[in-house]
Structure 1
Amino acid sequence: MSATTYSYSLINPPFSFSGTYRSVSVTALNNQGVALGSAYNSTGSSSTSTPFLYDNGSYTTLSVPWANTTTVTQLNNAGQVIGRYQDSAGTHSFIYQNGHYTDVAVPGAAMTTLLQSSSSGKLLGTYFNSSGLHPFIDDNGHYIPLSVPGATSTFVSSGSITASAGPGINDSDQVIGRYTDSSGSHAFLYSDGSYTTLTYPGAGTTTATQINNTGQVLGSYSDSTGQNSFVLYNGQYARIAVPGANSTNALQINDKGQVLGSYSDSTGQHSFVFSNGQYTQIAVPGANNTNAL
């Protein structure tokens, strides 16, 4: 495990300093160094959350003006934010860019949820109607349904609406997810209108979690040794395993193929970056723990 030096910037928005309890979380960081996060304040039973963008020391609040509450979930490299808000009519999904808020709703759906946004402006999401939950791609108002042929259900990869969320759609409109059929649950890649099942050789189960803009897929699989991580590119699977670790969990992959993750060994839990075949531990100086998200 090699050692390296990083610089750290403290994100501490000025509007986070009221109330008895205060906290700040960052949920996304794009290639331009812009961060997306939320500041939380609470006093007794009262609490507030203020989403924000942080760009080179400047903060922009992202509360939808007519909403009771606003939650932001993702930021792409074009500066587009997706999220949801609540008002007297219910819960709605929106995109924010250059100071403007735009609602997104699949026609006829009872609820629309946005999960990811590519830098080209394509939106990945789900909608709910009388027949159930359905994934889709929104291409500038043109809705493309995603359904693996022969599957009983199809799900797109979204991680979660937390910091561990990763891209389920890239700028080439490739989508990763999973589907279920009579034989169980399977990972898939959607590209140019076609679906490809993804199976790590010898694995009991395979899960695809992220895809970058070069088409590299990050995922996990289980076999007799337990849960493991991999990168798939051009049909070839490469295992991600920190030497000497008891377990390795790959969390994120960027367009350079660098992988961010965590591992455990006899000394505890650690974070790492994998790049060009080498693993580098990440540890904030003076911190008790450093967690990769």
Structure 2
Amino acid sequence: TQCRGINAVGQMVGVYQSDDTKSHAFVKDGSEFIRIDVPGATDTRGFGIDPRGQIVGRYTSPNGIVHGFFRSRDGAVLTIDAPGATETEASGITPQGEITGIYQTTDGRFHGYILSKGGFQTIDVPDAVNTGSAAGGVWMAGSGELAGYYQPQGAPPGQNRAWVRLANASFHTYLFPGSTDTCFFNINERGDLVGRYIAGGVEHGLYVDRLGRRPPGQ
């Protein structure tokens, strides 16, 4: 069982595996545990939830294709497929209803995206081979700031750098001192960041506040 997102009222979304090894999304609302499966899917995973209880995630269709999805409070499900994508995943949803995620193209590369009323907008970090990965990689605060991780040109898979895109569309990248891999996994409304870094083959949790400061000893 993994809890992957939480909204301002404390509702959590995530994914768990049943005895038959299938993955199912869930919402935990107080003491209530709600299982969520996209109809016809062989695998459903929940990743983000907004203050209204609407969730986003991914599901796998019987032909093995991965699609993003949005589920409204009344249970209606909308499939999300980025234009030209072979695989799409929805990672997060803001209070304003903007959805972020990643998609993969036929050349095997991963790209970030924002889905809003204006349509799809691709997000690629400058000099990136991949923006994100099959595990996700783009999150958005309601203020418009984005965060995630990317594989730089010339770097092998698994040697990522974290990034932030500010509301003015400027990118800033980050590699924890002494690490070979640094990733941001979420950003809150204040601009505080959480993620991980790998140093000496050991994985560590990471917190960076909106001013770029780390806690003492981290």
TM range (shorter): 0.7 to 0.9
Cα distance change of structure 1 residues 119 and 72 upon mapping to structure 2, 3 Å threshold? farther
CA contact (8 A) 1:178 1:207 kept: no
Contact 2:91 2:101 (8 Å CA) reproduced: yes
Gaps of at least 5 residues in structure 1 are 1-23, 242-247, 249-293
What stretches of structure 2 of length at least 5 have no aligned partner? none
Given the alignment, which residue of 171, 174, 190 partners 1:195? 171
TM-score w.r.t. the length of structure 1 is 0.57
Q: Residues 219, 29 of structure 1: CA spacing in aligned structure 2 closer, same or farther, 3 A cutoff?
A: closer
- The share of aligned pairs that are identical, in percent, is 21
Asked whether the 8 Å contact 2:50–2:93 carries over to 1, the reply is: no
2:48 corresponds to 1:75: yes
1:167 to partner: Cα distance: 7.6
Which of these residues, 59, 82, 88, is aligned with residue 106 of structure 1? 82
Q: State the distance in 1 between where 2:17 and 2:49 align.
A: 23
The one-letter code sitting in structure 1 at the alignment partner of 2:131 is: F
Q: CA RMSD in A?
A: 3.5
Aligned to 1:55: 29
Instruction: Give the deviation of 1:196 after TM superposition.
Output: 1.4
**In the alignment, structure 1 residue 231 sits paired with structure 2 residue 208:** yes
Over 3 Å counting, the alpha-carbon distance change for 1:222 and 1:86 in structure 2 is closer
> Is the contact between residue 112 and residue 138 of structure 2 (CA under 8 Å) also seen in structure 1?
no
Over residues 73-99 of structure 1, what are the superposed CA-to-partner deviations in whole Å (9 max), with x where a residue is unaligned?
223232221222333454322111112
Alpha-carbon distance between aligned partners in 1 of 2:82 and 2:61, rounded to the nearest angstrom: 18
Between the two proteins, the alignment pairs up a number of residues equal to 206
CA contact (8 A) 2:111 2:132 kept: no
Q: Counterpart amino acid of 2:44?
A: T
Which residue in 1 is equivalent to 2:117? 140
- In 2, the alpha carbon distance for the partners of 1:102 and 1:95 equals 5
Of structures 1 and 2, the larger Rg is shown by 1
Shift of 1:138: 1.5
Q: CA deviation at 1:135?
A: 1.7
Q: Residues 31 and 130 (structure 1 numbering): CA distance in 2 closer, same or farther, change over 3 Å?
A: same
User: What letter is aligned with 1:72?
Assistant: R
Matches within 5 A, 1:1-293: 26-37=3-14, 41-42=18-19, 46=20, 50-65=24-39, 67-78=40-51, 79-89=53-63, 90-99=65-74, 100-131=76-107, 132-140=109-117, 142-149=119-126, 151-156=127-132, 160=135, 168-176=139-147, 177-182=149-154, 185-191=160-166, 192-200=168-176, 203=178, 205=180, 207-209=182-184, 210-220=186-196, 229-234=206-211, 236-241=212-217
Matches of 1:220 and 1:88, distance apart in 2:
33
